[in-house]
Amino acid sequence: MLLYIPKNYTPSLDSEKMELAIKQLKDDFQAELTHQLNLRRVTAPLFVLSGTGVNDDLNGTERAVSFPIKDMGNRRAEVVHSLAKWKRMKLGAYNIPAGYGLYTDMNAIRADEELDNLHSLYVDQWDWEQTITQEDRTIEFLKSTVKKIYQALKTIELKLHGKYPHISPTLPSEIRFFHSEELLSLYPELSPRERETKVAEKYGAVFIIGIGAKLADGKKHDGRAPDYDDWSTPTSKGLRGLNGDIILWNKVLDSAFEISSMGIRVDKKALLYQLKEEGCMNRTELDFHSQLINEKIPLSIGGGIGQSRLCMYFLKCAHIGEVQASLWPEEMIESCKANKILLK
């Protein structure tokens, strides 16, 4: 069982106030994100058809929860892992112009998760996507978008503090940027997770750029599917990648805390390169990929922001089960209960 118990932990709010604070945080952040990125809300699917290439493959090893559809000749559907590709298709379907986009409430089931303080079978996040131009496909545009999201986080943190003064703000004034290759040079003896811990603890909030491509040591900082984020396009100084993760320092858990994975999405050139790099050229025949190759899908930037993780971070919770209802091993439930961590 993977479980971290903070010393002398006490919940920041009682159960009733916790529920009210969760709603306030979600409402406030949606409003701020919409304002910062010019987004509108759309309704999202819980499942998509198998074999279309629309579902997110994450690291390429996670199994999707699937089922046969009786009234469609037992054709199989699968619960979404995320909506990375579905959102991009909707930008085109709704004719959303550059500089504007959409967001939705994404709910998923990830049966292969290793359950711990941060990981649950149930995933809830704001999936967002914004139409961009060819000129926007730069590292500068990526950073400017990250700063807007970070501003939204800062704003809701202050609003929460106004409502509950004993929950003090902890985010630094600005977010710092590091390329995964830079972290390798700084800490060659450490693992990628340990590198993230080092910089997150030092700076409080960081964005790690370039996740998915092999680094100078021949290893990846972390895995990324080859068909949504652009992790291969050269930027500057021999660095590659137009994607990354927003990582905060979590003082309750004394650990790095990923709250968002995002990036500029692949264009035709990047898609073909990344599919070849990962040995997935057979995907070019799938619906999503063929539309992208034929340039029928808009260029975009997008990502996911964990709803329960956001609430967990700002409400100073020790376990994600304090802000969402899911299933947990009995041993974990009892260990948490013994340490004032009450799982829903």
Which positions are catalytic?
Answer: 56, 110, 125, 245, 258, 261
**Tokens 């997770």 belong to which residue?**
193
Class of residue 50 by CB neighbours under 10 A (exposed 0-12, middle 13-18, buried 19+): middle
- The residue among 180, 167, 275 whose CA lies nearest residue 219 is 180
C-alpha to C-alpha distance for 329 and 248, rounded to whole angstroms: 27
**What count of Cα atoms within 13 Å lies in the side-chain half-sphere of residue 248?**
25
Task: Please give the sequence-ordered ranges of beta strands (E in DSSP) within the chain, or none if there are none.
Answer: 39-41, 47-49, 66-69, 75-79, 101-109, 122-131, 176-179, 205-209, 243-250, 255-264, 300-306
For residue 44 the two structure tokens come to 């999202």
User: 307-314 and 15-37 helices cross at what angle (nearest 10)?
Assistant: 120
C-alpha to C-alpha distance for 103 and 33, rounded to whole angstroms: 9
